[in-house]
Amino acid sequence: MATSIIDIQKVSHSYFRDDIEIPVLKQLTLNIEPASFVALLGPSGSGKTTILNLMAGFDRPMHGRISINQINVSQLSERQLARWRAKAIGFIFQFYNLIPVLTAAENVELPLLLTSLSRAQRAKHVATALRLVGLGDRMTHYPRQLSGGQEQRVAIARAIVMDPAILLADEPTGNLDSEAAEEIMILLQRLNAEQGKTIVLVTHDLEAAQRATTICKLQKGRLV
Amino acid sequence: MLLRYVIRNLARHPLRATLTILAMSIIILAFGLLRTTVASWYADSLGTPPDRLRTRHAVSISFQLPVIYQQRIASVPGVAGISYANWFGGRWKDGKAFFPRYAVEPVSYLELHPEIQLSPSQREAFLRDRRACIVGRKLADKLGWDVGDIVRLQGSLYPGDWEFTIRGIYSTTSPTTDEGSLYLHWVAIDEQRRIEDRDRAGTVGWFVIRMANPEQAAQISEAIDRTFTNSMAETRTETEQAFRANMATMSGAVIRAIEIMSFLILGISLLIVANAMAMTVRERHHEYGILKTLGFRASHLGFLIFGESVCLALFGGILGVVLTYPASKGFGMFLTSNFGGFFATFELPVQLPVLVILISVGIGLLGAVIPFFLCLRSRIRDELRHVG
Ligand SMILES: Nc1ncnc2c1ncn2[C@@H]1O[C@H](COP(=O)(O)OP(=O)(O)OP(=O)(O)O)[C@@H](O)[C@H]1O
Ligand SMILES: [Mg+2]
Q: Which residues pair with A20 in a beta bridge?
A: A17
Q: Could you tell me how many helices (H) and strands (E) chain A has, helices first? A: 7, 10
pLDDT at residue number B172: 82
Phi-psi category of A60—alpha, beta or left, where left has phi over 0 and alpha has psi -120 to 50?
A: beta
Ligand 1: residues with CB < 6 A are A 15, 17, 22, 24, 42, 44-50; B 381-382, 385
- Which chain A residue has the Cα nearest residue B287? A99
The residues placing their C-beta within 5 Å of ligand 2, an ion, are A 49
Contacts of residue A93 in chain B, CB cutoff 8 Å?
384, 388
The whole-angstrom distance between B43's CA and the closest CA on chain A is: 51
User: Does residue A48 carry a pLDDT above 50?
Assistant: yes
Residue A21 lies in a domain: no
pLDDT at residue number B251: 55
- Look at A158 and B294 and tell me if their CB atoms are within 8 Å: yes
Written in H, E and C, the secondary structure of B286-337 is HHHHHHHHCCCCHHHHHHHHHHHHHHHHHHHHHHHHHHHHHHHHHHHHHHHH
- Look at A94 and B388 and tell me if their CB atoms are within 8 Å: yes
Distance (angstroms) between ligand 2 centre and the Cα of A77 equals 25
Distance (angstroms) between ligand 1 centre and the Cα of B238 equals 81
State the helix-helix crossing angle for B298-338 and B285-293, rounded to 10 degrees: 140
Query: Hey, is the C-beta of A56 within 8 angstroms of any chain B C-beta?
Result: yes
pLDDT at residue number B44: 57
pLDDT at residue number B50: 67
Number of Cβ within a 10 Å radius of residue B299: 10
- CA–CA separation, B343 vs B338, rounded Å? 9
- CA–CA separation, A176 vs A152, rounded Å? 9
Of residues A83, A95, A109, nearest to B295 (C-beta): A83
Most distant CA pair in chain B, distance = 94
Residue A201 lies in a domain: yes
Classify residue B279 as exposed, middle or buried by CB count within 10 Å of its CB (0-12, 13-18, 19+).
Answer: middle
Among A residues 177-206, those touching chain B with beta carbons less than 8 Å apart: none
- CA–CA separation, A182 vs A192, rounded Å? 15
- Look at B293 and A79 and tell me if their CB atoms are within 8 Å: no
Classify residue B379 as exposed, middle or buried by CB count within 10 Å of its CB (0-12, 13-18, 19+).
Answer: middle
Q: Which residues, 6+ apart, have CB-to-CB distance to B161 below 8 Å?
A: B152, B153, B154, B155
Considering only A42-56, A61-75, B41-55, B128-142, which range has the smallest mean pLDDT?
Answer: B41-55
Most distant CA pair in chain A, distance = 53
The better pLDDT of the pair B318, A78 is held by B318
- CA–CA separation, B380 vs B384, rounded Å? 6
Of residues A59, A106, A114, nearest to B381 (C-beta): A59
Report the nearest atom of ligand 1 relative to the CA of A43: 25
**How many structural domains compose chain A?**
1
Spell out the per-residue pLDDT of chain B, length 388, in tens. Answer: 888 888 888 888 899 999 999 999 999 999 988 888 877 766 655 555 568 899 999 888 788 999 999 999 999 999 999 999 998 888 888 877 778 899 999 999 999 988 888 999 999 999 999 999 999 988 898 889 999 999 999 988 888 899 999 999 998 876 556 788 899 999 999 998 888 888 888 999 999 999 988 888 888 999 999 999 988 889 988 887 666 655 534 556 777 788 889 889 999 999 999 999 999 988 888 899 899 888 888 889 999 999 999 999 999 999 999 998 888 888 877 766 555 455 656 677 778 889 889 999 999 999 999 999 988 888 777 777 755 4
- Look at A102 and B287 and tell me if their CB atoms are within 8 Å: no
Query: Hey, is the C-beta of A99 within 8 angstroms of any chain B C-beta?
Result: yes
Task: Give the closest residue (by CA) to ligand 1 atom 5.
Answer: A15
Residue A183 lies in a domain: yes
- CA–CA separation, B249 vs B4, rounded Å? 53
Contact A173, A205 (CB under 8 A): yes
pLDDT band at A99 (very low <50, low <70, confident <90, very high): very high
Q: What's the CATH number where A153 sits?
A: 3.40.50.300
What ipTM was predicted for this assembly? 0.89
pLDDT digits 0-9 by tens, A138-194: 889 999 999 999 999 999 999 999 989 999 999 998 888 888 888 889 999 998 999
Task: Give the closest residue (by CA) to ligand 1 atom 22.
Answer: A49
Mutation test of the interface with chain B: which of A85, A112, A160, choosing the one with the most B Cβ atoms within 10 A? Answer: A85
* Amino acid letter for position B133: C
pLDDT at residue number B45: 53
pLDDT at residue number B243: 67
Range of the domain at A200: 34-61+75-223
- Look at B295 and A114 and tell me if their CB atoms are within 8 Å: yes
Residue A57 lies in a domain: yes
Nearest CA among B99, B200, B198 for reference residue B140: B99
CB burial readout B32-59, b (16+ within 10 A) else e:
bbbbbbbbbbbbbbebbeebbbbbbbbe
Residue A80 lies in a domain: yes
- Look at B5 and A99 and tell me if their CB atoms are within 8 Å: yes
Nearest CA among B281, B287, B5 for reference residue A96: B287
Name the strand (E) or helix (H) holding B196.
helix B186-196
- CA–CA separation, B50 vs B253, rounded Å? 22
Report the nearest atom of ligand 1 relative to the CA of A47: 18
pLDDT at residue number B248: 38
Residue A3 lies in a domain: no
3-state helix, strand, coil in chain B (%, to 5): 55, 15, 25
